[in-house]
Each structure stands twice: as structure tokens, then as C-alpha cells.
Structure 1
Amino acid sequence: MDFTRRDALAGSALALSVAAAGCLDFAAGDGPQGPEGTPATLTCDDDAFVRLDQPFEASVAGTPVETDETALELSVEGTAETYGQSLRLVLRNTGDAPAATLGEQAYSLQRETEAGWLDVRGSTTGEAVALPRTESSLDRSTAYSWDLTLTERGLAEAVDGVDLDVCPPLGAGTHRFVYWGLVDGPPVGVEFELIG
């Protein structure tokens, strides 16, 4: 079988494109890099990282949930999402009166661990930070909605004006979104599985 210079160049181009694709895959990561399953706890190698505290003590209610004045429902588009995809959530006032809230940013993103539920986010400044709380009202038949990108950067940058990071990296396992901003009601949450 005779090989021409054209065959050699075509073979070289194919080898280079495969090698470049492999480098791009490596650079982009191949899914969640953090601990899988239910880790004992969440630990971070960065000594300046201070994990967000859980700003509520009451048990997390499922949905629907009632306040003193109205009823609300928290829904999630899916119960399993792939790393890098969007998690879409909606908190809708389904009752007949406005619901007093602490604003749209009053939520936690938690990972199930053997030590309990822990927020995946925290401050990188060496000091604890608090999420913004603004007295607000969710009128009847209106909603808060979130479209969270399930990457470390996407979750860290979801809250404007607060310097956050995710540590350790996200890992495949059970997570939950908890809205704790209902003034006259319990925190309400939904669980979801983060998969590779």
C-alpha cells in the first residue's frame, strides 16, 4: 500500500485534532470533582475559607407550606441534575395574601453529610459573611425564581455583592435548596441529586 504526502498530512491533522480535544476535555473537567455519596463532612484546604452558617433552626418543611397569612409552593424542575447544567426553582405564592419575606437571596445551597446538612458556599476572606436580607413581600400569584448553574463558579457568583466560593468542589450526591426567608413561616426546601 502506498502512502502519499497528502495521506501523511491528513493523518497528522487527525492526530492533532484528537490530542487537542483531549486537552480541552481535561481543561474543562469531566464532572463533579468533590467527594461522592454522603461524606463525613465538608472540608476545605483553604485556611481562609469560612463556610456560610445555617441561618435557620427550624426543621425544613416540604412543599406546599403555609405562613400565618398565605400558602406557598417551592418547585424544582428536576430531582436529578448533571454537573454544569442549570437548576431551575420557583417559589410561588399560591394563597390569597402577600407573604412577608427577607428577599430573593435568603436561601442556602446545602450538601448532605454525616455531620448534617452544610452549605457548599463560604467566604474566602477569612471572615464570616451573611447573605443579603431585604424586607420584601411576595404578592399573591407572584413568584421568586432561580436559575442556578451547577458549577462552583456558577453557585459562587449567584449572589451579587458577596464574595463567595464553593469548597470543596461539588461532588455527586444529595443536595438541597432551602429558602429560609419566609418571615411568618418555616424554611422550605427541595432535595436534588447532583450527578456526573
Structure 2
Amino acid sequence: MDHTRRDALVGSALALSVATAGCLDFAAGEGPQGPDGTPPTLDCDDDAFVRLDRPFEGSVTETVVETDATTLELSTEGTTETYGQSLRLILRNTGDDPAPTLGEFAYSIQRETGDGWLDVRGSTTGEAVELPRTEVSLDAGSTYSWDLTLTEAGIADAVDGLDLTVCPPLGPGIYRFVYWGVVGAPPIGAEFELVG
């Protein structure tokens, strides 16, 4: 049986197209798989899932909050983030005096829904859990910083010593990071859009 150069090229092209199709299918599954836009609410198929409560009342101040003694500012590197990338946030005490806080884990990651802003995280133990709170002072000029990987595992694993899950999966839409741990002050937040 004689094989021509053309037969070899056709065979190679076919093999390449099959391999590429497999890569595209794999890549397509790596983006956000949750509801798109502004869902009515966040539904989880796991009956044991208990969403984190909203630990603060009232509205969220934009990115700056003033206490009786000092000023704190929350900043982020961008307002549009791609699924799987990192979201970097910094809370800085820009005033001259220390600020009492509830520690670095006193934050919520919420999604905008028809029911309002809901935390994307929760527990699958069937029982409510609370985020760790440690009363510490954030000195003048000092910061808390977060580098959150925008995946379900990246967000769920960001709190040490607490077994959390994100449910439903993240989807393209509007989210916000809210730090509610400044004692005696309203929470501050930064919104961002998650894209595929």
C-alpha cells in the first residue's frame, strides 16, 4: 500500500482537529458555571448547605469609612475580573490613630441577586457557621490585604480553619467584597464584575 505526502497531511490535519476540539471542550468547562447576570436568588442543590448570614445591618459605604479616631480606605486593583484570576484588595488605616477591628476574616463575598446581596459561601454540615473574629487593632498606616483566587475553591479556602463551600458555582455577574470588621463603623465594600 502506497502512502502519499497528501495522505500524511490529511491524517495529520484530522488528528490535530480532534486534539484541538478536545482542548476547546476542556477550556470551555473552566469558566464560570453558575447563573448569569442577576439571578432571582442563589439556590444550592445540596440540602445540607447553609449560607453564611449577613453579619451587618444597613447599607455598605463605598470604599472609605471614618471612625471617631481615624479613616480607613478599601482599594482594589480593578472592577472587572476574569474567573480564575486573582482579586487583590487592601484595607488601609490612612489616619493617625489605631482602629479596632474584628480581624482579617471579617468580610463577606456577596453576589447581587433579586433578593439583594447574598454571600456566595456557606457550610455543607447542615449547620450555620460563623467567620472567625479576633479583636485586634489596625495601627495607623497598617493594612489588611487579601489576594482571592476567583474560583469556588479559591474563595472557599481563603478562611483558615473553616470548611466552607461556594454554592451555586460562580457565574458572570456583579459581586462585592465587604469588610464589616471595623468596630463602631459601617461596613465598606468594593464591587466588581466577574466575567468568563
Normalised by the size of structure 2, how large is the TM-score? 0.92
Kindly report which structure 2 residues correspond to 1:132-143, keeping only aligned pairs within 5 A, or say none.
132-143=132-143
Residue 22 of structure 1 corresponds to which residue in structure 2?
A: 24
Identical columns (%) = 68
Moved more, 111-120 or 6-15: 6-15
Contact 1:50–1:124 at 8 Å: present in 2 too?
A: yes
**2-side partners of 1:186 and 1:92: how far apart?**
15
Amino acid at match of 2:97: A
**1-side partners of 2:119 and 2:22: how far apart?**
37
Kindly report which structure 2 residues correspond to 1:102-141, keeping only aligned pairs within 5 A, or say none.
102-141=102-141
Deviations 1:142-172 (A, max 9, x none): 1000011111111011111111001111111
Quote how far apart the aligned CAs of 1:6 are. 4.5
Matched, 1:3 2:4: yes
Contact 1:92–1:141 at 8 Å: present in 2 too?
A: yes
Report SS of the residue matched to 1:35. coil
User: Kindly tell me: are residues 37 and 20 of structure 1, through their superposed partners in 2, closer, same or farther at Cα, counting changes over 3 Å?
Assistant: closer
User: Kindly tell me: are residues 113 and 20 of structure 1, through their superposed partners in 2, closer, same or farther at Cα, counting changes over 3 Å?
Assistant: closer
**2-side partners of 1:17 and 1:112: how far apart?**
39
Report SS of the residue matched to 1:14. helix
Report SS of the residue matched to 2:191. strand
User: Kindly tell me: are residues 16 and 172 of structure 1, through their superposed partners in 2, closer, same or farther at Cα, counting changes over 3 Å?
Assistant: closer
User: Kindly tell me: are residues 94 and 25 of structure 1, through their superposed partners in 2, closer, same or farther at Cα, counting changes over 3 Å?
Assistant: same
Residue 166 of structure 1 corresponds to which residue in structure 2?
A: 166
Quote how far apart the aligned CAs of 1:23 are. 4.4
**2-side partners of 1:171 and 1:24: how far apart?**
18
**2-side partners of 1:8 and 1:110: how far apart?**
51
Quote how far apart the aligned CAs of 1:78 are. 0.5
Residue 44 of structure 2 corresponds to which residue in structure 1?
A: 44
Moved more, 7-16 or 166-175: 7-16
Deviations 1:27-50 (A, max 9, x none): xx2421111111111110000100
Query: Could you list the runs of 5+ residues in structure 2 that have no partner in the other structure?
Result: none
Kindly report which structure 2 residues correspond to 1:43-192, keeping only aligned pairs within 5 A, or say none.
43-192=43-192
How many residue pairs get aligned? The number is: 193
**2-side partners of 1:77 and 1:191: how far apart?**
11
Query: Could you list the runs of 5+ residues in structure 1 that have no partner in the other structure?
Result: none
